[in-house]
């Protein structure tokens, strides 16, 4: 595995911290990947939120995407992981020809 690939979670974490610093209070940041990796998904959401709080006094919360999950699941074409939190992980199925998709919405509240 290349060094660039191994360093990807650290780069993504820095980008998320900068995004949280840039967004106004009440604004949101949406983070999305095309991987099943918890290191690039959940951890890249949790770590920047903690770092932003510790170093910059930024408070941020995850917003529920349950409505989106329910609407897409009801079509019969999409399936979500029950184990993914924070965020939502759309799993590939035989009926749908796409990669896994992780998405999380973070809103700055302070």
Q: Torsion angle of alpha carbons 37, 38, 41, 46, nearest 10°?
A: -160
Structure tokens at 35: 């991987």
Taking only Cα atoms into account, the Rg of the chain, rounded to an integer number of angstroms, comes to 15
Q: Which residue has the tokens 């993504």?
A: 12
Spot the catalytic one: 34, 49, 84, 104: 34
Q: Which pLDDT band, with edges at 50, 70 and 90, does 92 fall under? A: confident
* pLDDT tens figures, 35-91: 888 888 888 888 889 999 999 999 999 999 999 999 999 988 889 999 888 999 999
Higher pLDDT, 78 or 95: 78
Structure tokens at 86: 């924070």
Decide if pLDDT at 95 tops 90: no
Structure tokens at 10: 């650290």
84 carries an active-site annotation: no
Q: Torsion angle of alpha carbons 43, 48, 51, 53, nearest 10°?
A: -120
Q: What is the per-residue pLDDT for 1?
A: 64
């Amino acid at each position: 595995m290349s060094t660039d690939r191994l360093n990807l979670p650290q780069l993504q974490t820095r980008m998320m911290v900068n995004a949280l610093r840039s967004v106004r209070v009440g604004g949101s940041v949406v983070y999305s990947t095309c991987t099943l990796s918890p290191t690039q998904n959940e951890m890249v959401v949790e770590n920047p939120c903690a770092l932003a709080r510790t170093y910059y006094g930024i408070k941020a919360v995850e917003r529920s995407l349950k409505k989106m999950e329910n609407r897409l699941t009801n079509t019969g074409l999409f399936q979500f992981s029950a184990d993914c939190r924070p965020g939502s992980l759309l799993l590939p199925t035989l009926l749908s020809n796409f990669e896994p998709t992780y998405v999380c919405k973070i809103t700055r509240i302070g």
